[in-house]
Amino acid sequence: MIDDLFADSPPDWCEVLAPGAMVLRGFALPRVPDLLQAIDAVTADAPFRHLITPGGQRMSVAMSNAGALGWVSDRRGYRYDAIDPDSGRRWPAMPRAFAQLALDAAGEAGFDGFTPEACLINRYAIGARLSLHQDKDELDYDHPIVSVSLGLPAVFLFGGFERSDKQARVPIAHGDVVVWGGPSRLRYHGVLPIKPGSHPLLGEQRINLTFRKVR
Ligand code: MD6
Ligand code: FE
């Protein structure tokens, strides 16, 4: 009976940011060894690189991808492509540990059956940042985004639907997973410059995995 009273309240490790957006604190921690092994395998095949924005700026975040589609940027624009422009080959397949984590985290947040075809892997050195943006290069916004953080902590900027809306500053730690969908899918967001430090497992970097269903 008591359980029924609380059936709709999230567990205390789930922090709701807005309707459809939440942080699952430490959700990825038990899977970190498998994730790191998979990241090494993917980035041996498709090394991290600094993409150029359509405006001609070199991004401070280095990127790679796994899955049937990868997110890329160059002078022509932002898009998803099955081919890694650096190698001319397909992106490495989505590792099983990635797919399972994305499915489980989305399910925990109330989005069942999340089967992303793209995982963008972001590597932040100290000082790297991601300026305020919306994720809107996907064809439909019915699916959530699942974002996994590893290594150095970060401050996630969580805004509204206009670039100028006030942003919340959300501290994000190693192992945290942000799930972001439904009415929050198009909120502006970004990452403040990573502060100097060294993480016991990852050293002087933050790695973020962002899973998306594109088509
Ligand atoms: C990052 N994340 O955390 C970059 N986008 O390194 C994102 O841009 C992002 O974390 C949409 C939803 C969640 C995210
Ligand atoms: Fe984003």
Q: Is 141 left (phi over 0), alpha (psi -120 to 50) or beta?
A: alpha
CA Rg value for the chain: 17
- Residue range of the domain that includes 175: 2-212
End-to-end CA distance of the chain: 42
- In the reported structure, the alpha carbon of residue 214 is separated from the centroid of ligand 2 by a whole-number distance in angstroms of 13
Over the range 148-165, which residues count as b (16 or more CB within 10 Å of their CB) and which as e? bbbbbebbbbbbbeeeee
Residues 129, 137, 46, 112: is their CA dihedral positive or negative? positive
pLDDT of residue 1: 47
Cβ 205 under 6 angstroms from ligand 1: no
Per-residue pLDDT tens digits of the chain, which is 215 residues long: 455 555 667 788 999 999 999 999 999 999 999 999 999 999 999 999 999 999 999 999 999 999 999 999 999 999 999 999 999 999 999 999 999 999 999 999 999 999 999 999 999 999 999 999 999 998 879 899 999 999 999 999 999 999 999 999 999 999 999 999 999 999 999 999 999 999 999 999 999 999 999 99
Question: Quick one: which ligand is closest to 185's CA?
Answer: 1
172 Cα nearest atom in ligand 1: 3
Cβ 210 under 6 angstroms from ligand 1: yes
Domain count, the chain: 1
- In the reported structure, the alpha carbon of residue 13 is separated from the centroid of ligand 1 by a whole-number distance in angstroms of 19
| pTM summary value | 0.94
**Distance between CA atoms of 194 and 126, rounded to whole angstroms?**
5
CATH number of the domain bearing residue 125: 2.60.120.590
pLDDT of residue 6: 58
Which among 86, 85, 100 is positioned nearest to 34, based on CA atoms? 100
